[in-house]
Amino acid sequence: MLKLFNTLTLYLSFLEAKDRLIKKEVSKIQFYKDCFVLNLWDKEEGAIFFFVSLVNSVPFIGISKEKVIKLEPYKHPFYDFLTRHLIGSKISGITINRFDKVLKISFSNDFPVGKLPKVGVVFELITNKTNAIVLVDNIIKISYKEIIPDDPLRRKILPGIEYQYPEKSTKKLEPKEIALEILSELGVEKALSEKTFGIPKNVIEEIKDWTPQRIIQWINADFENLNSKILNNELILSLNFDKSSFLENIYTVGINKIIELNEEKKKREFEAQKRKKIAYLEKKLENVKKDYEKNLHWKDIQSKAQNILNNLDKIDIVNNQYVLNGEVIGNTSKTPGKFASELFEKSKKMKSALSKIERMINSLESQIQKVKSEQPENLKVEKNAKDKKHKEKDKPKDYIKIDFDDYTIALVGKNANSNINLLKISNPNDWWFHTRNYPGSYVILKTTKRELDQTDVKRAAQICARFSKGKKEKEVEVVFTQVKYLTKPKGKKSGTIFYRNERTIFVSPEQEENF
């Protein structure tokens, strides 16, 4: 698609847009990543979709009679601003002011209730520097990208300041100058042969030695006879095609290009994710194989144990250590028979672990092959799983959070299940509070302070008393200990818990208004 989105293309787009879009009413605005669509309405032509792309590698404008598809909606403050102020307004002017692709569309509103009466939107469709800026009386209201350069003398794009064009020159575009620049930059033969103008090869052979000025005269500088056509997903500008809508052709190619870029991006992300997953599984497989190699020596361990038992009478004690045939067995804290017994147990475990490790190796190798064979189509499934995970994260918390200060918080359970869940999200060094003689909520005290603050302890105990059956009592006994000292007994009903190293405090329940 060489030279598709060059200055020539933008200018030809502008020529048609100027005629087709003036006085059209904005009925809706659709927003996508780096581009948006104005849904316009006209009594004669009906619905028109005017597309502006701000994708760095594919900046363009286009028109379609069909809605945009295959693009994901996007939220951005710039888009929100346009929605508030442009719906119901009409396009009052379209100008192309710059030699470097700066397009301005003016909007007017006959009923500006809560809206700006006149708004100008400037599109800087410059590769790698695309931007869109909203102006009112040439003052920037908001922009798609804010620009704050390191050099204070260079132009800024910030709300509240006067808009400056990308360059100091105010030169107007002329069709002759556009074509002349392309021909001069690339050379006549290269420019024409690379489909910039879509001229047949046999014609190029005859005119390749012409000067750019003569080429300009030949193709008619005002471009009235220069038409466009889509050929193999490329836009061809030519003198000998039937006339068709240039903007609609631009739109078709541009949308396809953006969809292609989106698909390529998704594919790159998928491949990166795939490589990361494979690297993780291969590292895990490497470690498991090392374990397998170690356990293969179970027979050596068993032989060593048997050798100790067979030669108990030959074992010597040297420097408080048992020595057999010059090899140290261990220190005299245990008997040689005990050492042999431990070695037999170790060899037994190593032998039994081999079959389990073999299954792990087979499973990991199978997982690696499966990941390697995955195609980008599976990305949607992974995305759905990720969305599900996010939804689970976004579920309302089943506990109450109370802030003590910048360093300490208390989490209060709402019911029996909530109490259990609180323990699951607690750290071993967090503090657990519960009333001794009354059923009630668990309170988990989390703090980053080096030492437990007695004021925090008292308040946590008061909250615990408040969320218990003893909340109407004058004084309630509360026990507290660290989470690491809690154990859940097997076979007991949910909510039963054992604790040790506890401390006790007597407090009056805290009033709810103090939370």
Give yes or no: residues 236 and 303 share one domain: no
Check whether residue 126 and residue 94 sit in a common domain: yes
The CA-based dihedral angle spanning residues 63, 67, 68, 70, taken in that order and rounded to the nearest 10 degrees:
-150
Q: What is the mean pLDDT of residues 36-63?
A: 79
Whether residue 273 lies inside any domain: the answer is yes
Same domain, 439 and 350: no
The top-scoring range by mean pLDDT among 124-128, 351-355, 480-484 is 480-484
* Ranges 221-225, 319-323, 502-506: which has the least confidence: 221-225
Q: Is 252 part of any domain?
A: no
The span from the first CA to the last CA of the chain, in angstroms, equals 65
The torsion angles phi and psi of 50, rounded to 5 degrees, stand at: -100, 115
Task: Indicate the residue among 365, 390, 415 that finishes a domain.
Answer: 390
Q: Do 466 and 506 lie in a common domain? A: yes
2 in a domain, yes or no?
no
Q: Are strands 58-64 and 46-55 parallel, antiparallel or unpaired?
A: antiparallel
What CATH number did the domain enclosing 66 receive?
2.30.310.10
* Shared-domain flag, residues 465 and 411: yes
Determine if residue 223 is left, alpha or beta; phi over 0 gives left, psi from -120 to 50 gives alpha, anything else beta: left
Q: Is residue 150 part of a domain?
A: no
pLDDT tens for each residue of 254-267: 777 777 777 888 88
Q: Greater confidence, 512 or 3?
A: 512
- The last residue of one of the domains, among 98, 122, 143, is 143
**pLDDT of 2 above 50:** no
How do residues 377-387 score in pLDDT, each as one tens digit?
644 444 555 55
Asked, for residue 164, whether it belongs to a domain, the answer is no
Residues 322 and 304 sit within 8 Å (Cβ to Cβ): no
Query: Rounded to the nearest 10 degrees, what angle do helices 212-219 and 175-186 cross at?
Result: 140
Encode pLDDT of 228-240 as tens digits.
Answer: 666 655 566 665 5
The residue that leads in pLDDT, 34 or 414, is 414
455 and 495 assigned to the same domain = yes
**SS3 per residue for 411-464:** EEECCHHHHHHHHHCCCCCCEEEEECCCCECCEEEEECCCCCCHHHHHHHHHHH
| pTM to 2 decimal places | 0.48
pLDDT-derived band of residue 198, with 50, 70 and 90 as boundaries?
A: low
Q: Does one domain contain both 353 and 427?
A: no
| pLDDT at site 233 | 59
CA proximity to 86, closest of 141, 146, 156? 141
Q: How many domains does the chain have?
A: 4
pLDDT in tens, 311-327: 888 888 888 888 888 88
**Whether 183 and 226 share a structural domain:** yes
291 contact partners, CB below 8 Å, separation of at least 6: 353, 357
pLDDT at 3: 39
Helix, strand, coil shares, percent, the chain, to 5: 40, 25, 35
Of 390, 420, 449, the residue at which a domain comes to its end is: 390
Domain residues for the domain of 188 are 175-244
State how far the Cα of 209 lies from the Cα of 348, in Å rounded to an integer: 89
3-state secondary structure 308-362: HHHCHHHCEEECCEEEECCEEEEECCCCHHHHHHHHHHHHHHHHHHHHHHHHHHH
Task: Reply yes or no on whether the pLDDT at 301 is more than 60.
Answer: yes
Note whether residue 167 is domain-resident. no
Rounded to whole angstroms, the Cα distance separating 313 from 321 reads: 15
- Residues 377, 420 within the same domain: no
| pLDDT above 90 (res 465) | yes
Q: Is the same domain home to 85 and 135?
A: yes
Same domain, 410 and 382: no
In terms of DSSP bridges, do strands 118-124 and 102-108 run parallel, antiparallel, or are they unpaired? Answer: antiparallel
Q: Average pLDDT of 120-140?
A: 84
Residues 238 and 349 in one domain: no
Q: Which amino acid is at 429?
A: N
Q: What is the pLDDT of residues 207-219, one digit of tens each?
A: 778 887 777 666 6
Check residue 146 and give its pLDDT: 84
Say if residue 56's pLDDT is above 80. no
In a domain? residue 22: yes
In a domain, 257, yes or no: no
Predicted pLDDT at 82? 87
422-461: pLDDT as tens digits: 988 888 889 999 999 899 999 999 988 878 889 999 999 9
Q: Under DSSP, is residue 212 helix (H, G, I), strand (E, B) or coil?
A: helix
With 70 as the cut, is the pLDDT of residue 175 above it? no
